[in-house]
Structure 1
Amino acid sequence: MFECQEFEDACKELDNPVIDEYEFFVEAMNVKIYRKYKESSGLYEYKTFGVLEGISPDICAKVYTDLEYRKEWDKYAKELYEFKEGEVTGIYWNVNFPFPMYNRDYVFVRETKEFDLDGRHIWVVLGKSAPFESVRERSRTIRVDDFQQSMCMTSDGGSGTKALMHYYDNPKGMLPTWLINWAAKTGVPNFISDMKKHCEKYPEYLEKKSKKEKKSTGTA
């Protein structure tokens, strides 16, 4: 799905983000957001980097990739699940948009790899749009077919997570400028805040899930 070089490039940017062609956009919660204008679409791609204090990178990586848990705390995730088409595993994600706009949905592939580099353990998660014949477009929902994201995480040297995210998508349609600005300036920091809070709750979630599974199977 992804080339080894893509994972290596993501790792390199943890310490030296490549932002020469980007402009500073906003900073919140120890996280800086930079953006670069894409003439082909008239939209921006973003790079976000900073530290999630008090959250270990292994928990951060698990929460970031746990779809079932994400559905419990992300109010914008209307539907989110994995599916198989042949030998390929895909992800379907339906995102709530404010009324009267149509929801957007994504069909994409994702891959996670772990590396040990320069004495550090690093998690890299890559995702991008992919065509799947078994997942048809729905009425009153706009399919986002130009999406890519990379997330790279490692220890900040203490009890926190140093992270860098590179993100771009084209949601199509005539979205108002206020919504785009809100998503970048407010939505991203809010997502980071929510994720930090639910990273702290993740061990409790896993314990409850384990008890529920044992009860359903009748095991002690």
Structure 2
Amino acid sequence: MSLPFTDEEFQDAWKELDEPQLEGGWELFTETMGVKIYRLYDKETGLYEYKVFGGLTTCTPELCADVYMDLTYRKHWDSYAKELYEKDFNGQTAIYWELKLQYVYMRERRDLDVDGRKIWVILARSSPETACGEKSGVLRVKDYKQSVALESDGAGGSRVFMNYFDNPGGMIPNWLVNWAAKTGVPGFLTDMQKACSNYSSYCQKK
């Protein structure tokens, strides 16, 4: 089984911190809490792909990456995560993530040194072949991708880029899509900052 991510994909993610790639139909969707969210309409699915540019003023990029990768901790602070676990599959780790929908995906984190700059990149993508079976009654998202790039803002916080798309299949009402982007993303960033500030005390209690 080949590795799911290439060096080029990691490079494409961190480069957006310097030069956001917004040609080809990307539009500014909303701006809140110093975060700009752009979206791109996908004609094939009728859904939107999102790009998020902003910052987390109270979290260092390394801490953000550690918190983001720690699934056990996420179950403590993310109220939407109903079920979340890792499972080995052909030498790689698959992640099962259930909210109101279920996701199964592979992910990889790399801590990069780019000409002296430290950049943390995490890529995730749905995987059709994993050891995580489908749960009846919960819709499985077959097409999901996410990339996150983090770099210090020079003042104790982080510059953040995120690219996100998921296709649950079937018809998703527009109000739900709009709510997820306008409310879900800022809410997640607020929760993430809080989770970062509590992470050291959580680790001490383990």
TM-score (norm 1): 0.89
- Kindly indicate whether residue 167 of structure 2 is the aligned counterpart of residue 176 of structure 1: no
Q: Residues of 1 paired with 2:176 and 2:14: CA distance?
A: 31
- What is the Cα deviation at residue 87 of structure 1? 1.2
Could you tell me which residue of structure 1 aligns to residue 88 of structure 2? Answer: 84
| Structure 2 residue matching 1:201: 3-state secondary structure | helix
Tell me: CA distance 1:138–1:165, structure 2 relative to 1, closer, same or farther (3 Å): same
Could you tell me which residue of structure 1 aligns to residue 71 of structure 2? Answer: 67
2:158 to 161, 171, 192: 161
Q: Residues of 1 paired with 2:173 and 2:127: CA distance?
A: 27
Could you tell me which residue of structure 1 aligns to residue 23 of structure 2? Answer: 20
1:142 to 116, 139, 144: 139
- What is the Cα deviation at residue 155 of structure 1? 0.2
Q: Residues of 2 paired with 1:136 and 1:189: CA distance?
A: 32
Aligned residues: 202
Tell me: CA distance 1:47–1:133, structure 2 relative to 1, closer, same or farther (3 Å): closer
Supply the AA of the counterpart residue of 2:80. Y
- What is the Cα deviation at residue 28 of structure 1? 1.1
Q: Residues of 1 paired with 2:55 and 2:154: CA distance?
A: 11
1:49 to 37, 50, 53: 53
Contact 2:87/2:131, CA 8 A, preserved across alignment? no
| Structure 1 residue matching 2:62: 3-state secondary structure | helix
Structure 1 runs not aligned, ≥5 long: 96-102, 210-220
| Structure 2 residue matching 1:40: 3-state secondary structure | coil
CA deviation vs aligned residue, 1:110-133 (integer Å, no higher than 9, x gap) = 001111113210000000011235
Considering only CA atoms, is the larger Rg found in Structure 1 or Structure 2? 1
> After TM superposition, what 4+ stretches of structure 1 lie above 6 angstroms from structure 2?
none
TM-score (norm 2): 0.95
- Kindly indicate whether residue 132 of structure 2 is the aligned counterpart of residue 132 of structure 1: no
Tell me: CA distance 1:138–1:121, structure 2 relative to 1, closer, same or farther (3 Å): same
- Kindly indicate whether residue 8 of structure 2 is the aligned counterpart of residue 5 of structure 1: yes
| Structure 1 residue matching 2:83: 3-state secondary structure | strand
| Structure 2 residue matching 1:77: 3-state secondary structure | coil
- What is the Cα deviation at residue 67 of structure 1? 0.3
Q: Residues of 2 paired with 1:60 and 1:51: CA distance?
A: 11
